[in-house]
Structure 1
Amino acid sequence: MKKIAITIVVLLLVALTRWLEHNNNVVTQVVAEPQRSNKEQILLTESQSKFVKVKPVIDYDFQANKEAVGSIAFNDLKTIQVFPNYAGKIHRIFVKLGDTVKVGQPLYAIDSPDLLQAESTLIASAATKELSSKALVRAQALFKLKAMAEKDYQQAISDQQTAEGAYQSAINNLKIFGKTDTEIQLMIKNKKADPELIVRSPINGQVITFNNPAPGAYVQPGTPPAPMAVSDITSKWMIANVAESDISTIKLGQSVDVKVPSLKDLHFKGVVSSIGAQVDINTHSVLVRSDISDESNSLIPGMLSYFTITTGNLKGFPAVPFESVVRQGDGTLTVWVTGNGRLFEKRQVTIGLQQGGNYQILSGLHSGEMVATQGAVFVSHAYDMSTE
């Protein structure tokens, strides 16, 4: 009987030991797995928490921006249609479409009857001046010898002064045609008129239009089309269509930031220079023109572009890094809030502007709260796994 009792006690002890071992394994498994409650919380293990970084919600000053789509264009205010000053037939062409030119560089030349007449007048006046000057020298010598009447001497002086005036007038006329002093003196020396009138670039820039200026074509000043046009390529326009609901926030002189999709790594700065006077009844938008600095000549007219303009400042809004916000399968945006770096609570948020690597938080968070940044997606995934 005593042996039976001892046997029963031993069996009970063995059973108790196995039961305790089983419960210990269960506890170990539970601790090893993240914990959650009905508040959409998850408790990470120490090893899991090492994959997550937390930062406080900060106050951030956002800029209120407006965006619009447009295109690049040449700056018409810095584009010159290069007409000749006088009528004539094109004789030679020195440049081609797309060439970069300097101020004063020859573009094309015409045979001008007006220039030929002016040069002939100069040659004649130069000869008259020379003769009258020699006559005056002789008259002075004779007058000193009292071999010439005073009235004849005064007439010689008058003739020389008249010839000098006509000569200077002829020189000034040729300078209007663009002739230099060197060219004028060479013409007088050779006594040969040259009807070729060279038309030069009035500015530094690029030849942007080439209206078939073939040799022999007759051109006149101010009669379109001009043989060619030159534009200052360091300045471009961006023509944007701004929605009429936004136009009240756009002001002359405001700074704009321009992005061109085809030039991904480049940003361009500009200033609003013109706001349209009427709304397009079809698109309900207003044309806004901005002057864009383009010293590198990277912008090509016609390029699709986007502009961003700052219309105000929004100070002190709660903000979190982009990586803190996790988009759920139903489209809602959430962050994971923590107090100790291990227990995280899911919080739905509403975001606004996106600037400087931060989301503007319109609702759901307050400044100073700690949220997961790097590893926020990991926390969300761990929570989803724990709910399956």
Structure 2
Amino acid sequence: MNRKSIIWLTVLFLVVTAGCSKQQTARPAQEVVVKAMQVIQQDTPVTYEFVGEIIAKDEVQVKSEVSGNISRKFVNGGDTIRAGQPLFEIDRRKYAAAVADAQAQVAQAQASFSNIQRDVTRYQNLASQGGIAIQILDTAVSQAEQAEALVKAYQAKLEQAQNDLSDTLIVSPVDGRIGVNELSVGGYVQAGSTVLATVSTVNPVQVRFSMSENEYLKFAKMGTSPDAWGQNLKLILSDGSEYPLPGHLEQIDRGMANQTGTLAMKAAFDNPNQLLVPGMFARIVAVGETRQGALLIPQRAVQEMLGKTFVTVAGANNEATTKPVKLGPKIGNLQVIEEGLTPQDIVVVEGFAKTQPGSPLNITMIGLNDLTIPGTK
């Protein structure tokens, strides 16, 4: 093959290759099937959520006023109990003996006091007639006063012994539920130090949560006091369900915690069916300000990358376009958008992961009723 033929073959190959490349370039891109919805614009009450822990409003450690061995136990761990209900009994034998001994001492002192009083009466009659010296009467009167004081001392001792005997029966100080780690029969109890059991109140309960400094400042700058936003609180349980009874803010700490920079708070919720148990975690939802004409999109339409947030919208000719957005607070399953979108934008909710900027979209429009997210209501 001569040089001229080789050149013509090379030119022919380049022409054919260029034609194939043109055909491939001209082939239209395949449409990406997505679900999308138009940006919602409406007046929206803004809610704020805080993670909280359910705690007992009152948690009382039951201790004994007397020492001794537990002779009887009237409850089991986990029982629901009432204030004044017997829980334990300390061996009462030595305390009953102390009462009997004190009663005998009181009786003896009273008898001695009575005899001296009779002597005083006789000496008073004799002294009035000049039958005895006044000094004898004075001595008798002094002895009577001493005997009376001794009677009062023994009566106080008797009262203490009776109180000790009464304290051998230990009752619940509050309505609530008793812990499962209570002492058993035979265990020794040291007065004032041994914890026999812990009783936690169950109705109402409190939810302990914290508010960050920025959140506190946001409420303060809006002029919204805790008396306003803290009176109709909602509680979202760990399974996503809403607790049926509202709560109210009950306690606010005196200042920010040094280590966390948060303000501790406690909200109270009625718990008549004892559904709420101390140790459970839940979310407190507080209603703040109402935003006029707020722009809302589904939370799952928001994409995050390298600390930035953006969404995919249907641009001209239904082509995928990426827009950076500034997020506001969350409202249920929706997200408030403060910057980056207009009410006319159509936001891709499902399928945006398969798109690239400029990709043609095959759009199925959906509404709020189609936004079912597992684990939420």
Q: Which of the five TM-score ranges fits, normalised by the shorter chain?
A: 0.5 to 0.7
In the other structure, the counterpart of 1:350 is 326
2:256 aligned to which of 269, 279, 298: 279
In the other structure, the counterpart of 1:238 is 207
Q: Secondary structure at the match of 2:226?
A: coil
1:101 aligns with 2:96: no
Alignment of 1:1-388 (within 5 A): 30=26, 32-34=27-29, 48=31, 51-68=33-50, 71-76=53-58, 79-80=59-60, 82=62, 89=68, 90-102=70-82, 105-110=85-90, 111=92, 113=95, 198-201=169-172, 203-208=174-179, 212=183, 215=186, 217=188, 223=192, 227-247=196-216, 249=219, 251-252=226-227, 253-258=230-235, 263-265=238-240, 268=243, 270-294=247-271, 295-297=273-275, 299-301=277-279, 307-327=284-304, 331=308, 333-338=310-315, 342-380=318-356, 383=359
Shift in CA distance, 381/231, structure 1 to aligned 2, threshold 3 Å: same
Q: Secondary structure at the match of 2:291?
A: strand
Q: Deviations over 1:258-282 (max 9, x none)?
A: 567xx44555564321001233334
Shift in CA distance, 329/291, structure 1 to aligned 2, threshold 3 Å: closer
Q: Which amino acid in 2 is paired with 1:33?
A: P
Q: Secondary structure at the match of 1:383?
A: coil
In the other structure, the counterpart of 2:4 is none
TM-superposed deviation, 1:241: 3.4
Q: Distance in 2 between matches of 1:195 and 1:316?
A: 69
Shift in CA distance, 208/63, structure 1 to aligned 2, threshold 3 Å: farther
- TM-score, normalised on structure 1? 0.52
- TM-score, normalised on structure 2? 0.53
TM-superposed deviation, 1:256: 4.1
Shift in CA distance, 251/330, structure 1 to aligned 2, threshold 3 Å: closer
Contact 1:213 1:228 in 2 (8 A): no
In the other structure, the counterpart of 1:132 is none
Q: Distance in 2 between matches of 1:83 and 1:115?
A: 23
Contact 1:326 1:376 in 2 (8 A): no
Contact 1:335 1:349 in 2 (8 A): no
Q: Secondary structure at the match of 1:242?
A: strand
Contact 2:66 2:167 in 1 (8 A): no
Percent sequence identity over aligned pairs: 19
Q: Rg: which structure is higher?
A: 1
Long gaps (5+) in structure 1: 1-21, 35-44, 122-172, 178-193
Q: Which amino acid in 1 is paired with 2:348?
A: A
Long gaps (5+) in structure 2: 1-17, 104-158, 220-224, 361-377
Shift in CA distance, 364/72, structure 1 to aligned 2, threshold 3 Å: same
CA RMSD of aligned residues (A): 4.8
